[in-house]
């Protein structure tokens, strides 16, 4: 049985995962408008992954006898100055999500709710992967550069990363 504090925090996280999904879908739309098809497909796929993150939490809350409650979701930004700007925002967003997951795990541990603490370990590991992935894209963008045919090569590199997801 979950405490009310835990239920509220898990519901907040459900909302954040929805936001992550919308953010990446919006970014995919921006990339598509710029002709960056590799980035578009990568971000669309990532948006679907975020929905899976949301669904896992949703199921956990309901399976433990509580009720998942959906709240309002803020509109994500839709204007970006460059593809680097997009991926810098994804990296920073993932760092924020990591902090939220860590805070959730801390609450579960402090409340001696070891079931939730154990459940959250999947998210702890996933956040490590997500930060690593987005940092590697930023590094690639910086290495390739956005001048001349840079955008073309960046788009190709990001498309390749889909095989690693
Ligand atoms: Fe991108 O990990 Fe969920 O939000």
Q: Is the pLDDT of residue 164 over 80?
A: no
30's CB contacts (< 8 A; 6+ apart) are: 78, 79, 80, 86
4-72+79-164 is classed CATH 1.20.1260.10: yes
The domain ranges of the chain are 4-72+79-164
Please state the atom number of ligand 1 nearest to the C-alpha of residue 20: 4
Beta carbons of 6 and 108 less than 8 angstroms apart: yes
pLDDT at 148: 84
Whole-number Cα distances in Å, 100 to 16, 35, 68: 9, 34, 18
pLDDT exceeds 70 at position 165: no
Q: What is the dihedral of CA 137, 138, 141, 146, to 10 degrees?
A: 130
119-150, pLDDT tens digit by residue? 999 999 999 999 999 999 999 999 999 988 99
pLDDT digits (tens, 9 = 90+) for 57-104: 999 999 999 999 999 999 999 999 999 999 999 999 999 999 999 999
Share of the chain above pLDDT 90, in %: 95
Tell whether ligand 1 has an atom less than 6 A from the beta carbon of residue 18. no
Rounded to the nearest whole angstrom, what is the distance from the C-alpha of residue 51 to the centroid of ligand 1?
9
Write down the ipTM of this complex: 0.95
pLDDT tens by residue, 35-62: 999 999 999 999 999 999 999 999 999 9
* List of residues 6+ apart from 33 with CB closer than 8 A: none
Residues comprising the binding site?
17, 50, 53, 94, 127
d(CA 60, CA 12): 14
Please give the distance of CA 17 from its chain centroid, rounded to a whole number: 7
Buried b (16+ CB within 10 A) or exposed e, 43-77: bbebbebbbebbebbbebbeebebebeeeeeeebe
Would you put residue 146 in left (φ > 0), alpha (ψ -120 to 50) or beta? alpha
Closest CA to 137 of 91, 97, 95: 91
Residue 9: its pLDDT value, please? 98
Ligand 1 pocket member 97 (CB < 6 A): yes
Half-sphere exposure of 93 (CA within 13 A, CB side): 21
**Tokens matching residue 23:** 């953010």
């Amino acid at each position: 049985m979950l405490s009310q504090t835990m239920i509220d925090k898990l519901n907040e996280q459900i909302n954040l995962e929805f936001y992550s999904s919308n953010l990446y879908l919006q970014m995919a739309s921006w990339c598509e408008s710029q002709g960056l098809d590799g980035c578009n497909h990568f971000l669309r796929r990532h948006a679907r992954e975020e929905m899976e993150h949301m669904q896992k939490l949703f199921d956990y809350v309901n399976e433990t006898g509580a009720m998942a409650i959906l709240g309002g979701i803020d509109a994500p930004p839709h204007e970006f100055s460059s593809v680097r700007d997009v991926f810098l925002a994804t990296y920073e967003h993932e760092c924020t999500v990591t902090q939220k997951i860590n805070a959730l795990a801390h609450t579960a541990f402090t409340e001696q709710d070891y079931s939730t603490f154990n459940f959250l370990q999947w998210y702890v590991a996933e956040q490590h992967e997500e930060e690593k992935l987005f940092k590697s894209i930023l590094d690639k963008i910086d290495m390739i550069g956005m001048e001349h045919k840079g955008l073309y090569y960046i788009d190709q590199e990001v498309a390749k990363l889909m095989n690693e997801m």
